[in-house]
Structure 1
Amino acid sequence: MPLSKTDRIRGGIYGALVGDALGVPVEFAAREQRDIDPVGSMRGFGTWEQPPGTWSDDGSLLLCSAEALLDGYSPERMADAFVRWMTVGHWGAYGEVFDIGNATRTAIRRLACGTEPEQAGGAEECDNGNGSLMRILPVSLRFAGQPAATIAEVAARASRLTHAHPRSSLACAIYCIVASHLLAGAQPKDAIRQTGTFIRKWSGAPASELSHFNRALNPDLGSLSRREIASGGYVVETLEAALWCLLTNSYYEETVLAAVNLGSDTDTTGCVTGGLAGILYGEQAIPIEWRSQLPRQDELDQLITRFVTQTIQGTPPS
């Protein structure tokens, strides 16, 4: 039976949170360590001394984004949610912040001081970490069914709150278009192929940046070997790693474990990959023994249910 849009949307959000939580305990560990001691289940403590199931800044900002998008895209509403997270732990797994990237911290401080939201992110080449990519998935889900150009534009704009370089914005646009095709039922290769066709014609894609995404937009990315896939904090690497894991595995559990076991920036690679895998395979494909360890279960379900209801039954977002 084909998956419903509800299954895919819920799968995307839960899939990202679970992928993040799988990676938190082993963040920064080298790939060689994962080869010796691969992650195969939900662990706890480790790098950040957090209980099993704890999501990081990735999951928190993704949830902040989902909440802010309930009534459509408002940069001011999204900025407010980000500031609340950094200052009072809003949508923190346990109400506190234990992991935050430098670029994200700097940008949110600017937001707190009144900088225009879409001007807060760093815009230098060195600002192309994966801190906007990790939280951007709800844009694709909330704008489901809208024209690709609309999804890409909102994704690019939302990136700028923390990461304003065109490369980061383009990475977010690409990721969200791939996710939109998966949400519509496409298989990974076709989703990447269709995304490449659109992005190369999209007026919002800077010509000078397109070459950085040649591998990510290649439907044959999965033919590369694991050693050719990097898993650091550079936004292009994270996008490639997520798509490679999606192309080279066959179900949710296998896909997110492949992502986390690439090592290095494990929580973000797990989160970004898990979101796509959750859409592709649906909520029920996520192992219950993993999902049940996420904290704030009732609040999560309430937010995700509201998000799905607004997307499927509510007023189209603007």
Structure 2
Amino acid sequence: MNNLNKDILLGTAIGDALGLPIQFLEREVVAKNPITTMEGLDQFNIPAGTWSDNTSLSFCLAESLCNGYDLNDIINKFTKWMYEDYWTPANETFDINYINYFAIVNLRNNGSPHVAGIDNKRGNSDGSLMRILPLVPYILNMEEENRFRIIKEISSLTYRHSGSILACIALCEFAIQYINLQLVEEAYQAMQQTILQLLKKEMFIEKDIPFKRLVGLSYEEFKAIELKDIHSTEYVIDTLEASLWCIFNTTSYKDAVLKAVNLGDDANTVGAITGGLAGIIYGYDTIPPEWLEVLAKKDDIIELANKLDSIMK
């Protein structure tokens, strides 16, 4: 497995931190002064290298997996993040997504982990997609049925809409297939087949299914989508498509995450997911050292990744 956990955790945190200063700025605004390196946010006293809830919740999941798979332990970690500033870059929780807030409140009040998450169109945003990649090394060698069940359970802690769950499966499957095949195009094709099978199995027979571009376009066709037709909103399909599009249209970690965050809108989330994938593809050692130097809690992140590596070998 080499340094897969380090690739994912550092890759995610760097992408998140690059995008945080321009979170929710429109693409046209970002284009006038695009991100080229780590920046802070002076008006909120946020230094360069600060990451958001995307990464905090990813680390909560990763740390919980050090003790095996236990939904209740994951819930405890999420609750500690929200109420006790656990796994936050400066020991202070900020940028709490409102759906995460209500779901974690439900979980804290002894709500079932299988039904606490939001199951409506408002729950079809990218709040579980942003934290799912640390699960990949744990489920890498499992049978499909078990992989899908665990992904569904992890997503459903906060987001249990079918779109969010299928997006999480698609992202994890692309990552797993890349690890196995070492070819982006073949990983994409394998992921497409998985999603098509699940759509048929679950009988998602909507006329205009949200996955139609992901399952209907060839690799070259998807790669060739014009920038104006790639959206980086909080909608889970937009985020998944934007992250894959950035991976397909770049050839290095640096270029992938810069393309991602400069899409604007939900820049740090697209940056985090793209960063996690780019970490898997190119390796954490290709991340610009000047970015790593300012990354909040870098040593703690590396320690967590090393702990996971030692447990999963």
TM-score (normalised: structure 2): 0.94
Which residue identity is paired with 2:232? S
Moved more, 128-137 or 110-119: 110-119
- Given candidates 206, 212, 215, the residue that maps to 1:214 is 212
Report what 1:72 is aligned to: 68
Alignment equivalent of 1:158, drawn from 154, 158, 162: 154
Residue identity matched to 1:165? H
Identity of aligned pairs, percent? Answer: 33
Q: Which residue of 2 aligns with 1:248?
A: 249
Superposed counterparts of 1:25-174, under 5 Å: 25-45=21-41, 48-174=44-170
Counterparts of 2:171 and 2:15 in 1: how far apart (Å)? 16
Paired position in structure 2 for 1:24: 20
Distance in 2 between residues matched to 1:79 and 1:290, nearest whole Å? 31
Amino acid corresponding to residue 83 of structure 1 in structure 2: T
CA distance in 1 between partners of 2:308 and 2:52 (Å): 21
Alpha-carbon deviations, 1:20-66, whole Å to 9, x = none?
Answer: 00011111111011211110000001575411101100000000010
Distance 1:151 1:68 in 2: 17
Alpha-carbon distance between aligned partners in 1 of 2:64 and 2:49, rounded to the nearest angstrom? 24
What's 1:299 paired with? 300
Matching residue's letter, 2:161? H
Matched residue type, 2:302:
D
Find out whether 1:261 has 2:262 as its counterpart: yes
AA of the residue aligned to 1:257: L
Aligned length: 308
Structure 1 distance, partners of 2:23, 2:33, is: 13
> Is the 8 Å Cα contact of residues 221 and 244 (structure 1) preserved in structure 2?
yes
2:9 and 2:301 in contact (8 A); partners too: no
In the alignment, which residue of structure 2 is the partner of 1:316? Answer: none
In structure 2, relative to structure 1, the CA distance for the partners of 1:203 and 1:77 (3 Å cut) is farther
Q: Is the 8 A contact 2:253 2:286 kept in 1?
A: yes
**Maintained 8 Å contact 2:11/2:278:** yes
Contact kept, 8 Å, 2:30 with 2:264, in 1: the verdict is yes
AA partner of residue 148 (structure 1): E
Equivalent position of 1:180 in the other structure = 176
Deviation at 1:175, TM superposition (A): 0.6
Query: How far, CA to CA, are the matches of 2:185 and 2:201 in structure 1?
Result: 21
| Contact 1:153/1:173 (8 A) holds in 2 | no
Tell me which amino acid in the other structure corresponds to 1:150: N
| SS of 1:215 mapped into structure 2 | helix
CA distance in 2, matches of 1:129, 1:154: 19
Structure 1 alignment gaps of length 5 or more: 314-318
Q: CA deviation at 1:108?
A: 0.6
CA distance in 2 between counterparts of 1:48 and 1:207 reads 47
Q: CA deviation at 1:186?
A: 2.4
Q: CA RMSD in A?
A: 1.7
- State how far apart, in whole Å, the 1-side matches of 2:301 and 2:166 are: 29
The aligned amino acid for 1:180 is I
- Measured after TM superposition, the shift of residue 6 of structure 1 is 2.1
Distance 1:52-1:185 versus aligned 2 partners, 3 A rule: farther
d(CA) in 1 for partners of 2:149, 2:280: 21
| Residue 8 (structure 2) aligned to one of 9, 12, 22 | 12
